[in-house]
Structures are given as C-alpha cells and as structure tokens.
Amino acid sequence: MSIQARIEAIIYAAETPVTLEQILELVKDSVIAQQEGADEATAKSAVRAALEELVAQYGTSEHGIEIRQVAGGYRMSTKPEQHDVVRAFAKSLKPPIRLSLPALETLAVIAYKQPVTVPEISEIRGVDSGGVIATLLDRKLITTSGRKAVIGRPILYKTTKDFLMRFGLKDVTELPSMEEFEKLVAESFQMDEAAPVTEMASPDSPEAAPAAEPISNDSVEIHSGTDAIVSETAGDSPEEAIETHASKASD
C-alpha cells in the first residue's frame, strides 16, 4: 500500500483531527523500509509531501469531500457546496437504535445460534429472555422463522436484513467470534463510568435455570453500518441534531 493510501485511511478513520506527528508515528517504519538509507527526517518529509498531494487531490471539483486542517490536525469534511444535499440525505437516515444490555445479549444469542427458540435463549443466558424478544421484533432486528418440531412447537427466531444493515455485515458469517463480541460489549460499557460491565453468557456455557430478566437502564447505541457522511448540528434542540456513524462534517 502506498504512503498516500495509508494516510488517507488514517484521516478517514480518525474521529478527531489527526496531526502530522501521529501519522508519521504510524507509517514511518514502512516508509523507511521502502526507501533505502532513509531516516526519520526523510520519512517525515515523505509523509508531509504525500499529505500535501492528498489534500490537493481532494481539493479538486471531482470530489465532494476535502481534507482540511482543523485544530492543528487534518480531517475529512464535506465541501460547503455539498451541504444541502448531504443535509437532506442525513435527515432521511434511520436514527440510531439503543439497546439494553439484556436485549443486546439476546440478540447475540439469536445471531450466533439461529434459528433458536425463546426457551433455548433463556437456557443459554440463564435468565428469562421472553421480555426482550418483543423489543427486538419491534426494532426489526429479528423475525420469526417458523416453529420447531418438538412438543409445544415453540417459535423460532432469526436475524433480519435490517440487522445486517445496522451492523454493516454482508451476512452472518462476518460476525466476530463470541470472545471478540464480549470484548466489544465490555469496551462499550466501560466508556460510561456509570454503566457497569456485565459479562455475557456464552452459547457454550453450562446450562442454568432461567431467572427473571434483570432490569437495566444501561444501553448501547447502534448506528447504521453505512460509513458515512456528516455529523452536523442544525440548532440547539435535540430535534435539530443530525448524527450519523463515523461522520466527517465540515465546520
């Protein structure tokens, strides 16, 4: 991968303006390896030149976004002339979904074990999961998948196309491993000091007698999987705030 491509990926992924020093720290080893006899000063010069060229490329009329210097660093922003169309698009997007930890755990079990019944979900989690199924159905993250051919013929549940879109997945084979999923959930809740981190029950854990679903006000916000676009505040009221995942807005 070229230096320019690496820099472009770093700036795009950054939530805040990224400085030249940060970029250099990430790519200098590969720059030195590519250029025989190069040292850190040479690498810094090469990174600066690649960055300036990248800024110039995005500055042409063929691009709807640009790389701007903001607060001592660089970030991607929509160009001012594109604000109207981007604002209209952002308003058409679905708002982020907020799920409680029990609902997220239940959704994880369904995603990994589908099609699965409520008793099977409750057996895996160790608590009664019937209450959160309605929430997941209402959010269109799961749907019914017929009935299981056992006594009582319980309803089977599976994830939906909306689930794939919300999590940015091509199909369920792209799901992370259970260990990775647990780590992601734990990290999400650690970001809020007031939110306790609860270990998720693994589908392979020993059976436990179902108990009542614990009440939790903790929640995880799930944005659309679309890598987009803008984050722009149109006013001071909540109704006027437009928020999208991994957004890059111009000031």
Residues 138 and 82 reside in one and the same domain = no
Q: Is residue 238 part of a domain?
A: no
Q: Across-strand partners of 99?
A: 220
Residues 155 and 128 reside in one and the same domain = yes
Across 28-37, 167-176, 184-193, least confident range:
184-193
Which of residues 30, 61, 89 is at a domain's end?
89
Q: Is residue 109 part of a domain?
A: yes
Q: Is residue 237 part of a domain?
A: no
56-72: average pLDDT? 88
Q: Is residue 241 part of a domain?
A: no
Q: What amino acid occupies position 242?
A: I
154 vs 207: which has the higher pLDDT: 154
Which of residues 89, 110, 137 is at a domain's end?
89
Residues 55 and 111 reside in one and the same domain = no
Residues 109 and 198 reside in one and the same domain = yes
The pLDDT assigned to 2 comes to 82
Name the residue range of residue 19's domain: 3-89
Note if the pTM is more than 0.75: no
The pLDDT assigned to 1 comes to 60
Residues 133 and 158 reside in one and the same domain = yes
Q: Is residue 231 part of a domain?
A: no
Q: What is the pLDDT of residues 206-245, one digit of tens each?
A: 444 445 555 454 565 665 544 433 333 333 333 333 333 3
The pLDDT assigned to 48 comes to 86
Rg (CA), the chain: 23
36 vs 99: which has the higher pLDDT: 99
Residue 42 structure tokens: 């040479």
Residue 233 structure tokens: 């505040």
Residues 29 and 145 reside in one and the same domain = no
The pLDDT assigned to 71 comes to 81
Q: Is residue 12 part of a domain?
A: yes
Number of folded domains in the chain? 2
> CA 135 from chain center: how many Å?
21
CATH code (residue 103) = 1.10.10.10
Average pLDDT in the chain:
76
Indicate the pLDDT class of residue 3, thresholds 50, 70 and 90: confident
Residues 16 and 133 reside in one and the same domain = no
Which of residues 89, 110, 128 is at a domain's end?
89
The pLDDT assigned to 198 comes to 43
Q: Is residue 236 part of a domain?
A: no
Place of tokens 């001012």: 80
Residues 32 and 108 reside in one and the same domain = no
The pLDDT assigned to 147 comes to 93
The pLDDT assigned to 242 comes to 36
The pLDDT assigned to 97 comes to 76
Residues 210 and 153 reside in one and the same domain = yes
Residue 18 has pLDDT above 80, yes or no: yes
Residues 79 and 125 reside in one and the same domain = no
Q: Is residue 70 part of a domain?
A: yes
> CA 159 from chain center: how many Å?
18
Query: Is the Cβ–Cβ distance between 47 and 27 less than 8 Å?
Result: yes
Residues 78 and 105 reside in one and the same domain = no
Residues 127 and 200 reside in one and the same domain = yes
Residue 33 has pLDDT above 50, yes or no: yes
